[in-house]
Structures are given as structure tokens and as C-alpha cells.
Amino acid sequence: MRLLLVEDDIMVASGIKLGLTDAGYAVDWVGSGERAEEVLQRETFDVAVVDIGLPGMDGLELTRRLRRPEMASRDMPVLILTARDALQDRVQGLDLGADDYMVKPFELPELLARLRALLRRSQAATTAVLGFGPLELDTANRQVGIRAAADAALVPIDLGPREWTVLEYLMIHAPKPASKDKLLQALTGWDKEITPNAVEVYVSRLRGKLEPHGVGLRSIRGFGYRLELLGA
């Protein structure tokens, strides 16, 4: 899951990002509402965590703006963070388009639980389970596996967080190929210093886990990769 964190306090942001990354999120962090608005005009995210008390454009105004039709992530869930415990602040945030809120200071387990709830509600309205042949990826429950028949039990496949990110992107775009640049961009949320050959590393690992089940990853020379059914 790709998450946008909008927080101007470096220490707070670092702690939140570390906890979310450990929990399996690919986190992109920006320090201002203006930068977040710029990013959201061209990038898509699964969920956003927005601090209200931002310098310049505050989190309430950002929340209002990101619900505009031209925003790429206008339908994504938004959780606002605030040091203010006033009822009016919470009501205003929810009225402007936020889906939930937390008052600082908070405990990481509660933040994670609220994010899981937001994502479940969001994906209940869309397609929570992606499929490609016998391969199934449940984006809400973060489960992936092979189902040999409609009435068969799901045989789980163990994926690391970065492998999950690559596979999720490939399955969203299947049967069309996904460019290497876009896959690298998806992985960049994990590590700003990630190298271009990282995509090849995780694709190789995925091949080793998927090919025994009849699902391959075909290289498209000069472009990227696409999923295909072996022997089809």
C-alpha cells in the first residue's frame, strides 16, 4: 500500500514513517501542503495521513483541495492528525473531506488500526481482490496466493513488502505491461536511495515464487514487464 504522509515536523514524521514502513506501507513524505498538492496532481496513493498544523496551506485546506476532480487521488481515504482537541476542528476536518482523525500524541498501534479500517471501507467500494489466472491478491487483507479452482482453498505465497509492491502494480495493470520506470517509482516510496536495478531484483524474486504455480513475468525489451500464464 502506498501512503502519503504530510507532516512538517521532521522528528514526528521520521517516527511515523518508520512505524508505517515496518508495518508494510510504502511511505512518501512531504513537509508542506503546497508540496502535497503538487504531488497529488500527478501521483496516486492508497491513503494519506495529513497534519492539520502545517505552515502556509494547513491540512484542512489541503484536504479540501485534494477532493477536487482534477486530483489523481481525490477518492483516497484521508486521516488527519491534530494537536487540537477542539470539537470544531474535528468537525471541520470531517466536513471538508477527511475520513478520520487522531489527536496528538497517539500510539502507533491505534494509527495502524485506523488505517486498516479506512482501507477496508475504501476497498469495499472497489475491487479488493485482484486476480490473474490462479493468482489472487487481496489488497485489503494483504494476502496473496494461488487458487487452483473456484472452490479450492487459497494456497498462500509469502512476499516481502517490496515484492508485494511490485506484484500489486503489475496485477493492477495486467494484462498490459508495466514500465520499469513506473515500478521503480512505486518502490521509491520505500527508499529514496533505491537503485534502478532494484526492479530487476524484485522481479527475479517474484519469478521464483510465481513460476512454480504457472504464472510468469515476461520482460518487454526496453520497456518493462508483464504478467503471463505459462503454457497458455
Which of 108, 124, 140 marks a domain boundary? 124
Are 113 and 141 members of one domain? no
CA-closest candidate to residue 155, choices 144, 166, 171, 139:
144
Which of 124, 142, 162 marks a domain boundary? 124
Rg of the chain on CA atoms, in Å:
19
Cα 192 to Cα 96: distance, rounded to the nearest angstrom: 32
Are 139 and 120 members of one domain? no
Q: Report CA-CA distances (Å) from 4 to 50, 150, 177.
A: 8, 36, 25
- pLDDT tens digits, residue range 134-183? 999 987 677 899 998 878 899 999 998 889 889 988 988 888 898 888 88
Range of the domain at 216: 129-229
- pLDDT tens digits, residue range 64-97? 998 887 777 778 899 999 876 667 777 888 888 8
Which of 124, 157, 180 marks a domain boundary? 124
pLDDT at residue number 132: 92
pLDDT at residue number 232: 63
pLDDT at residue number 123: 62
- pLDDT tens digits, residue range 193-232? 677 788 899 999 999 999 999 999 999 998 999 999 997 6
Are 95 and 139 members of one domain? no
Are 209 and 178 members of one domain? yes
- Number of domain units in the chain: 2
Question: What integer is the mean pLDDT of 105-110?
Answer: 89
Beta strands 78-82 and 47-51: pairing type?
parallel
CA-closest candidate to residue 196, choices 176, 182, 208, 217:
182
Q: Which residues contact residue 214 at a Cβ distance below 8 angstroms, ignoring those fewer than 6 apart?
A: 133, 134, 229, 230, 231
Determine contact, residues 227/170, Cβ cutoff 8 Å.
yes
CATH number, residue 182:
1.10.10.10
Global confidence as pTM = 0.59
Quick check: 127 pLDDT over 80? no
pLDDT at residue number 118: 86
Determine contact, residues 165/187, Cβ cutoff 8 Å.
yes
Are 118 and 170 members of one domain? no
Are 86 and 188 members of one domain? no
Are 13 and 117 members of one domain? yes
Are 59 and 83 members of one domain? yes
Are 133 and 165 members of one domain? yes
CA-closest candidate to residue 47, choices 19, 93, 6, 78:
78
